[in-house]
Copies of this chain bind each other. A is one copy, B any other.
Amino acid sequence: MQSQRLPFDPVEEARRHWEARWTEKAAREMVAVTSIMRVHQILMARLNELLEPYDLTFPRYEALMLLHFSSRGSLPLGKIGERLQVHRTSVTNTIDGLERAGLVHRIPHETDRRAVLAEILPEGRRVADAATEVLNAAAFGTEPLAAEELDRLSATLRTLRAGAGDFGP
């Protein structure tokens, strides 16, 4: 959502309360977490607004791009969940949305009768490219951050992702 502009930074005000009651260390950690929560909210609002003309939300866009880039144009739903690191029920909802929009369809697995695949349709590929052009042109909602800031941000977040066991040996 577009927020109302406050005359002060609410995150910095929270920092002052934390430093007064607890430690500078705890304040630093709380500020980082609260900042990520708010920036996530800002980005979701910006991206969903850009994607709305394509009948997409950001989670649907991510799943569509995964299929777009897959070697066969199709993936088992379980694998989509692993790759996007979301629950099975979220994948089902996301693929339902893409199917209703006519961008993917479900097909049976060739050898595993219990598995279902999602396959991207030609219209899905067209929308994937068109939506990406729009997101790229809007810098994925990251304005006003500069290249160096984005790279440092991603590197720091990668350390946290690795620490959480998302990937690695």
Contacts and interface: CB of A to CB of B under 8 A. Distances in A.
A36 B28 contact: no
A62 to B, nearest CB: 8
Interface stretch (A97-105, A108-116, A119-127, A151-159): A151-159
A34 B132 CA distance: 14
Contact of A14 (B9, B65, B167): B65
Interface string A125-169: 000000010011001111111010111111011111111111111
B82 A6 contact: yes
Interface residues of A, number: 75
Nearest to A136: B26
Nearest to A143: B163
A1 B85 contact: yes
B39 A39 contact: no
A25 B166 contact: no
Contact of A2 (B41, B140, B162, B165): B165
B161 A9 contact: yes
A165 B40 CA distance: 15
A41 B36 CA distance: 10
Interface string A51-69: 0000000100010010001
Contact of A83 (B6, B33, B58): B6
Given A6-B83, A166-B3, A166-B9, A32 B154 contact: yes
A161 B42 contact: yes
Interface in A1-38: 1-11, 14, 17, 22-23, 25-26, 28-38
